[in-house]
Structure 1
Amino acid sequence: MATPQLDVLVVGAGPTGLSAALLLGRAGVRTHVVARHPGTSRHPKAHVVNARTMELFRQWGLSGEVGEAALPPERGLGMGWMTRMAGRELGRIMIEDDPAALEAMLTHSSEILRSCPQDVLEPHLLQAAEAHPGVTVEFATEVLSTEQDASGVTTRARSVRDGAERTFRSTYVIAADGSHSTIRRGLGIPTPRLQAAGHMIGVHFTADLAACRQDRPFLLWWIVNPDTQGVFITLDGHHRWVYLFGYDPSLHAAQDFTPERCAEIVRQAVGTPDVAVDVLGVFPWRMETAIAERFREGRVFLAGDAAHRFPPTGGFGMNTGIQDAHNLAWKLVHVWKGTAGEALLDTYETERRPVAMANAEQSVANAERMAPTGALLADPSSLLEVENEQSPEGAALRAQISAAIPAQREQAFFTGQTFGFVYDSAAIVADGTSAPESTVSVYRPTACPGARAPHLWLRTATDELVALHDAIADRFTVLTGPQGQAWENAAAEAGRRCGLDVGVLRIGPGTAWRDETGQWQELYEVGPSGCVLVRPDGHIAMRCSTDPGDALGVLTRALSKVLAQEKSPVAVG
């Protein structure tokens, strides 16, 4: 049985697929989501929601409820290393111990990093996506194949419940179907591994570990002893936890780790033999790094884990996927509306693949730096003396581990990695400048074309405090200064010529938008009559430091270039 014609079929209902559906639904795009699982995730899986992703949730009206559902910030202030949870502490990295880095986190965004487990997050995204009339979500449906032609994609799928097959016809397909993506394999897109795999078990459990948590407000608890090496993640700050540990597949099969055995391993890691552990789920997975060679094949786009997968050291996986969806959705919307050429869709891979590569490299670097601490895929024989308080060998080993802990700082402080990436593609109008390079920990705000527009708090004429990215929302927006009347006048006409609704924010004294910090012109490196054009995804498309005398022409040409309007801007009206 064939379904009605769809604009976009999204395969996969994890955070990436649901974010894509939500964004497309906001624009009125007919979107259907299929997923082979019976519902949203029952396992916590990912949990880090970085500040950039929280900015997006804020724009989608979700940051409040996600923040409420997340771990209270005061219960996850850093990470610690210890022989066992109830054992000797070997070292810690705490956010509050670096006031400058903490201040930077609070300065560069309207939001902060939160820890919200995937099984808690996904229902919020599902509800928000399904709130749009054009979005439908269907679980327990696995995709069998896709075939493309000049006008669309035919996708064969089968019900997991009764085996009934059906066919979907869509203009585009977003493959957000995970690391074992059926669609990616069917397209024959190579996904070379950049790092050998490590085999891991995730144990989701509840236990009363309050006695161990005293004076240790850690988000991550790294465990180092000869019996087990891994990490506890606190999910609610009280009773719900995950313990991740590695295993050797030449010695054990994944199915050997029964709930009963996993409960005993958790007790070993806690260091309290009689603690009551209720195992809610056991999740085997492979820790590896791999990036698809292509993110686009005709009308099919790979996103999230289907396009890239990283070690969990850094928490980049889910965030990269959600931000993939954010980058792709506005481009699909404009092509669907007819206000952009198909070539705009090529910039999805051009922009997002380098970000995935950078996040993969940082995840690998974090994992490699962990080796001297003994907490990740360590050789148990190297840790035999770590708990021996009487031997010189034990003291030397503990000192060696403690000395390696400060090098793990980038797992806690990564503001530059979060905000500092700069796109370079045909959807950017270069101005001859180079962006100052951010490090992993240090973000250097810039309005160089391709960069995320630096955060500002703006005060409206009605005395409301608004974050710049909230004011931009989902549309092209001109930012200009108090003498930018020419740009304000040009925005409406340039938008009309290009078929767009172009927003305008005039910022500064005497305007409707007042910069609370007075940093607008210095931060964006424009004069009182200068202009910055921001794309719907919040990245800078074009910058002019002054009024060039032909604001309408400059703005129209910039919009036309960014949107790949091949011959001339769209004529409307």
Structure 2
Amino acid sequence: MGASLSKVETEVLIVGAGPAGSAAAALLATYGVSTIMLNKYGGVSNTPRAHITNQRAVEVFRDLGLEAELLQRATPQHLMGEHVYATSLAGRELGRLRTWYTHPHFKAEHDLASPSPVCDVPQDILEPILVNAAASRGSSVRFNTELLSFEQDDDGVSAHVRDRLSGHEYDIRCQYMIGADGANSLVMKQLGLPLEGQMGLGGSINVVFEADLTRFCAHRPGDMYWFVQPGVGMGGNGIGVLRMVKPWTRWVGVWGYDVNAGKPQLDHADGERIAHQLIGDDSVPVRVESVSTWTVNDVYATDNMQGRVICVGDAVHRHPPMNGLGSNTSIQDSYNLCWKLLLVLRGKASRALLDTYRDERVPVGRQVVKRANKSIGLMPPIFAALQLPTTPDENSMQVVLDALDAPTPAAGERRRAFDTALQATIMCFNTHGVELNQHYDSPAVAGDGTPEPAAPRDEEVYYHATTRPGRHMPHIWVTRDQQRVSTFDLCGKGQFTLLVGVRGGAWREAARRATQRFGVPVRVHSIGRGCDYEDSYNDYRTQSEVEEDGAILVRPDHMVGWRAVDGSGDPGAALEAALARILGLGEEQNGDGEPGASAQGVVSV
């Protein structure tokens, strides 16, 4: 083994095989980039940890050709949304919320926003899908292999690693390295990248267990049940959670501990006690799989890269699980980064394109950390409204509940306050705008010269579909051969796409010229009557925000890179200028740094 591993080389080394690292490996392998992915553990996550998989993350799986497998193994949206607030699963209900966009109002907006649905996929199911895809598409996946240190120079990165089974140490030479090694990232520490915020603000206990709770849940299906009980609970409040892993037989019970008292030593008996406390019926058979602890963090990186080393995922944004933004944001970090790495590695773009990963993703990391921690702050008002004592016991809880029922004006005020506080917690789950309104402002976006309009509604709550450069390309159903196709499916796959209308013929020649000049394929799809795709619902015409002779340039990550409202002027020159800006190239350069290199022709499907 020593001789064969004395010198190992690859284009990209990925440190960590969690959602961010495995997504990066799957994407780069799909794009034909040689990669090695290290996982210091012997396998993927063995606990369900992260679970909410939002539309934007499912879109990445769709682009990879993995959406069908993901959804087949997921709990679907219609079984996720009935969130019950109660004293225990078997105890008295205090109220309910329709979460994860299952309320008819939000469901309509959810369905209009994307061809892909939100779903619940535990991390121990999600990770193998990505890791298997990466390995089957050519990535070298090395388990039980730990990064010890690394050095970088102008030409690449040398990583010193150890095989944890044999103890053998060796070096891996790569052109770029991705640090996807989680909240205790060695890569971040060695780089010395700046972090803002605090770790360990609160302590929580996860109990993974099996129990048949069908009789408590099947009639009110949700992926989380919330319980107001005496004790520390989550975030110092007496809130316990039962999180569904598999309907309705596998669960994670969540309870809190006081971080100031130190990390508790827990065994399976403690786990069974916590599970029965949350269920509210200790006659239910429970089989505990594992008991672990985690802390609430409020930390984000103000820089996520240095030279040829780039960090993604929990390494650069560390926050509580509220809103389900963790693994989703991590996957999207890699989606933003990998097409840029492809073009830089192939000499089609300058290193400046990689720098836009910092410009585009640092603000997103900051936003999701602040949103998740703000959401935790929505729980204490529930206790304030109930007027629970600081250290309640079983008797005080009953007194509070009796007072809540009293037919008096004072009790009426308390009921109104409690109901208002409970309803406000919808922002712990429904933040559609945070998920889909990511607005990139960087040199990898070529503006169209128009001012940014005021948002019509709260951009954290509601998705605002627009083709403005820097925004997520809207999902619009078009048809071909009588079959519905999403505009999302016309784009992606590691390539640029130009969407044009009925009078957009000049853009085909413009795309051909740009492809020849830069060596970067720009495929063209026309949409409208008699075009490649029919605008059967008239939605593209009304939502594209461009004229029939205009064009929308969509980046490989489905973000709008540039648009021309109409075809006036010189379409070829306009498209080439936009593409040169995005690729970080001078006006007279192509992807190889020389004028006039030949390239693949325009793709029209």
Which band: TM-score by shorter chain?
A: over 0.9
Q: Structure 1 residues 67, 383: CA separation in 2 closer, same or farther (over 3 Å shift)?
A: farther
2:458 pairs with 1:447: no
Match of 2:263 in 1: 253
CA distance in 2, matches of 1:296, 1:383: 50
CA contact (8 A) 1:78 1:412 kept: no
2:17 pairs with 1:10: no
CA distance in 1, matches of 2:300, 2:531: 47
Counterpart secondary structure, 2:17: coil
Map of 1:530-549 to 2, 5 A cutoff? Answer: 530-549=550-569
Deviation of 1:440 after TM superposition, in Å, equals 2.0
Deviation of 1:169 after TM superposition, in Å, equals 0.6
Match of 1:233 in 2: 243
The aligned amino acid for 1:11 is V
CA contact (8 A) 2:201 2:259 kept: no
Deviation of 1:89 after TM superposition, in Å, equals 0.8
**Alignment partner for residue 553 of structure 1, among 573, 588, 593?**
573
CA contact (8 A) 2:245 2:252 kept: yes
The aligned amino acid for 2:467 is A
CA distance in 2, matches of 1:298, 1:89: 55
Q: Deviations over 1:319-375 (max 9, x none)?
A: 000000000000000001100000100000100111111111211111101122359
CA contact (8 A) 2:200 2:295 kept: no
Q: Deviations over 1:289-310 (max 9, x none)?
A: 1111211111000100011111
CA distance in 2, matches of 1:522, 1:417: 24
Map of 1:103-182 to 2, 5 A cutoff? Answer: 103-133=108-138, 135-182=139-186
CA contact (8 A) 1:435 1:448 kept: no
CA distance in 2, matches of 1:78, 1:453: 31
Q: Structure 1 residues 63, 181: CA separation in 2 closer, same or farther (over 3 Å shift)?
A: same
The aligned amino acid for 1:111 is S
What TM-score comes out, normalization by structure 1 length? 0.95
CA distance in 2, matches of 1:97, 1:249: 35
Match of 2:398 in 1: 387
Structure 1 residues 88-97 or 446-455, which shifts more? Answer: 88-97
Counterpart secondary structure, 2:489: helix
**Alignment partner for residue 432 of structure 1, among 425, 449, 462?**
449
Deviation of 1:455 after TM superposition, in Å, equals 0.6
Counterpart secondary structure, 2:374: helix
Match of 2:597 in 1: 572
Structure 1 residues 167-176 or 57-66, which shifts more? Answer: 57-66
Match of 1:420 in 2: 437
Q: Structure 1 residues 390, 45: CA separation in 2 closer, same or farther (over 3 Å shift)?
A: closer
The aligned amino acid for 2:597 is V
Match of 1:497 in 2: 517
Identity across the alignment (%): 34
Counterpart secondary structure, 2:378: helix
Counterpart secondary structure, 1:366: helix
CA contact (8 A) 2:552 2:563 kept: yes
**Alignment partner for residue 78 of structure 2, among 68, 74, 80?**
74
The aligned amino acid for 1:359 is V
Counterpart secondary structure, 1:508: coil
The aligned amino acid for 1:280 is E
CA distance in 1, matches of 2:242, 2:362: 31
Match of 2:499 in 1: 479
2:483 pairs with 1:464: yes
CA distance in 2, matches of 1:9, 1:2: 16
**Alignment partner for residue 335 of structure 2, among 317, 323, 326?**
326
Q: Deviations over 1:373-398 (max 9, x none)?
A: 359xx986157523347743786677
CA contact (8 A) 1:90 1:401 kept: no
2:269 pairs with 1:244: no
Counterpart secondary structure, 1:387: helix
The aligned amino acid for 1:404 is A
Counterpart secondary structure, 1:235: strand
CA distance in 2, matches of 1:196, 1:446: 39
CA distance in 2, matches of 1:347, 1:388: 57
Counterpart secondary structure, 1:81: strand
**Alignment partner for residue 306 of structure 1, among 315, 336, 339?**
315
The aligned amino acid for 1:308 is H
What TM-score comes out, normalization by structure 2 length? 0.90
Q: Deviations over 1:490-531 (max 9, x none)?
A: 111111101111110111111011123212233121111011
Match of 1:520 in 2: 540
Q: Deviations over 1:383-424 (max 9, x none)?
A: 752334774378667775443111012233222222112100
CA contact (8 A) 2:535 2:541 kept: no
Match of 1:223 in 2: 227
Map of 1:28-67 to 2, 5 A cutoff? Answer: 28-67=32-71
Deviation of 1:98 after TM superposition, in Å, equals 3.3
Structure 1 residues 469-478 or 344-353, which shifts more? Answer: 469-478
The aligned amino acid for 1:465 is R
Counterpart secondary structure, 2:355: helix
The aligned amino acid for 2:63 is Q
Q: Structure 1 residues 167, 379: CA separation in 2 closer, same or farther (over 3 Å shift)?
A: farther
CA contact (8 A) 2:229 2:240 kept: no
CA contact (8 A) 1:10 1:176 kept: yes
The aligned amino acid for 1:173 is M
Map of 1:387-406 to 2, 5 A cutoff? Answer: 387-388=398-399, 391-392=402-403, 400-406=417-423
Structure 1 residues 516-525 or 544-553, which shifts more? Answer: 516-525
Counterpart secondary structure, 2:97: strand
Match of 2:531 in 1: 511
Q: Structure 1 residues 525, 381: CA separation in 2 closer, same or farther (over 3 Å shift)?
A: same
The aligned amino acid for 1:522 is T
Q: Structure 1 residues 260, 390: CA separation in 2 closer, same or farther (over 3 Å shift)?
A: closer
CA contact (8 A) 2:492 2:555 kept: no
Structure 1 residues 24-33 or 560-569, which shifts more? Answer: 560-569
The aligned amino acid for 1:204 is V
CA distance in 1, matches of 2:243, 2:133: 27
2:367 pairs with 1:342: no
CA contact (8 A) 2:469 2:560 kept: yes
CA contact (8 A) 2:199 2:296 kept: no
Q: Structure 1 residues 383, 50: CA separation in 2 closer, same or farther (over 3 Å shift)?
A: farther
Counterpart secondary structure, 2:260: coil
CA contact (8 A) 2:80 2:223 kept: yes
Counterpart secondary structure, 2:219: coil
CA distance in 1, matches of 2:54, 2:486: 17
Q: Alignment length, in residue pairs?
A: 568
Counterpart secondary structure, 1:192: strand
CA distance in 2, matches of 1:196, 1:32: 32
CA distance in 2, matches of 1:472, 1:413: 27
Match of 1:209 in 2: 213
Structure 1 residues 44-53 or 99-108, which shifts more? Answer: 99-108
CA contact (8 A) 1:530 1:546 kept: yes
The aligned amino acid for 1:439 is E
Deviation of 1:67 after TM superposition, in Å, equals 0.6
Match of 1:411 in 2: 428
Deviation of 1:211 after TM superposition, in Å, equals 2.4
The aligned amino acid for 1:569 is N
Counterpart secondary structure, 2:534: strand
Structure 1 residues 356-365 or 42-51, which shifts more? Answer: 356-365
CA contact (8 A) 2:590 2:597 kept: no
Match of 2:282 in 1: 273
Deviation of 1:161 after TM superposition, in Å, equals 2.1
Deviation of 1:176 after TM superposition, in Å, equals 0.3
Question: What is the RMSD computed on CA atoms of the aligned residues?
Answer: 2.0
